[in-house]
Amino acid sequence: MKNKNIRTDLALELRESLPCTDGVEMTVEEAQNILVTHVAVTDETGAAAIGKPIGSYITLESPSMKENAPTTHEEIAKILAEKLGQLHKLPNDAVVLVIGLGNRHVTPDALGPQVCEKLLVTRHLNEDVPIDISGNLRPVCAIAPGVMGITGIETAEIVKGITDRVKPDLIIAIDALAARRTSRINATIQISNTGINPGAGMGNKRAPINESHMGVPVIAIGVPTVVDAATLVNDTMEKLLGAMAEAATEGEPFFNMLASMQGEDRYSMITEILDPYTENMFVTPKEVDAVITRLANIIADTLNIALHPGITRDDAIHFRV
C-alpha cells in the first residue's frame, strides 16, 4: 500500500506502515510510562518513502494525556520541553512567534487557539520588565490566525506577513492532527523541526509553514484528535479477524487466508469500499471538549517552561486563562 493513501500526520505511523527503509531511522525509549519515539528522516530516499521532509520527528505517547492526571501531565510537559530544546537551541534574547492553527469554533480543531490563550506572551513588555527578571523571559508573541474558510486568506500568507514584520528567530506552529490508530487519538504529541502543512492529514492542500517559505526555522507541535471512518472499520475488523484466526485450525485454507491479509492491505480495501460514502468523515471521542483543554494545558506549560528560562511549571500554571 502507498503511504499517500494513509490518512495520518504522524511520521511514526508512516514509518510503521513500511518494512525496513533506507534513510529513515527510528529509536524508542520509555520514561515514567511515557513512550518516546524518535524518527529521523536522513535523506531524500527516506523522505520519498514516508512522504515527510528530511528532519527529526519526536512522538510522546501516553493514555494519561487525555485523562485527569496532573502528575503525569507534569512529567509529559517536562520531557516535551527537553525534546524541544534538543530540536532547536535558542539564545536568551531570541524572539519567538507562536502560531495557533485551527478553528477555535470546532472543538477537535481548537487546540492551537487554546494554547495561544494560555501562553505567557512578553514581546510587548519591552522596557516594562524589571531588570532582575528580564533575563528570565524571552520575547514571545502569539496569534491564532483562524482558517481560510473564515478569513478568506491562506494561513501561510498571514503567518508570512507577520513574520516579515515581527522578524522572529523561531516560529512554533501548533495544530490538531489526524492519526491512523484510534489508540493514539488525544494520547500522542508529535514535535518536529520540519514545519507543518495545515490540514494535510484530512486531505486538504494548503501552503506549508516551514523554513523554506517563512525564512526562519519552524517547529511544529501537533496532537491527533481525529481518525477517518476507514480506520474505525479497519480496527474493528482487525479484532474480529484475530478472534476468527484463533478459532481456525492452522494449515486450513480459511486460516491461511486470515493470516495472509496484511493490515495496510485490509485498510486500503476498506477505504475503496467505503468511498465515496465516508470519504470526508472523521471521528473524534465524545469527551473531546475536556480532553482538548487538558492537552492545551500540557502544551502551554511546555512552551512557557521551554521558552522562558526562569519559569517553572508551578509558575506556568498561573498564566493559564
- Report H helices in the chain: 11-16, 44-50, 70-87, 111-117, 131-134, 148-151, 155-166, 211-214, 229-247, 253-260, 263-274, 288-307, 313-317
Cα(217)–Cα(206) distance, rounded to whole angstroms? 19
120 and 157: one domain? Answer: yes
Query: Within this chain, do residues 257 and 175 fall inside the same structural domain, yes or no?
Result: no
- Are 174 and 247 found together in one domain? no
Give average pLDDT by consecutive 10-residue segment, the chain, 321 residues: 61 84 90 91 92 95 92 93 92 92 92 94 75 71 91 93 96 93 92 84 72 96 86 69 66 63 63 61 82 95 90 68 56
Does the CA dihedral 138-306-107-102 come out positive or negative? positive
Chain mean pLDDT for the chain: 83
Residues 99, 23 share a domain: yes
176-213 pLDDT, tens digit each: 998 888 889 999 999 999 999 876 545 566 788 999 99
CATH code of the domain in which 120 resides:
3.40.50.1450
Q: Do 54 and 101 fall within a single domain?
A: yes
Q: Are residues 218 and 302 in the same domain?
A: yes
Phi, psi for residue 167 in degrees, rounded to 5: 55, 60
Q: Verify that 181 and 246 share a domain, yes or no.
A: no
Distance CA 23, CA 49 (A): 8
Domain residues for the domain of 10 are 3-231+278-317
- In a shared domain, residues 183 and 266: no
pTM for the complete prediction? 0.83
Count structural domains, the chain.
2
Shared domain check, 243 and 156: no
Are 295 and 168 part of one and the same domain? Answer: yes
- Domain match, 286 and 262 both: no
User: What does the alpha-carbon distance between residue 226 and residue 179 come to, in Å, rounded to a whole number?
Assistant: 6
Q: Are 123 and 79 in contact (CB under 8 A)?
A: no
268 CB burial (10 A radius; 0-12, 13-18, 19+): middle
Burial of 243 (0-12, 13-18, 19+ CB in 10 A): exposed
Q: Side chain identity at 127, as an amino acid letter?
A: E
Residues comprising the chain, all counted: 321
> In this structure, are 305 and 163 located in the same domain?
yes
Task: Give residue 79's pLDDT.
Answer: 94
> What is the predicted pLDDT for the residue at 19?
74
Distance separating the N- and C-terminal Cα atoms of the chain? 45
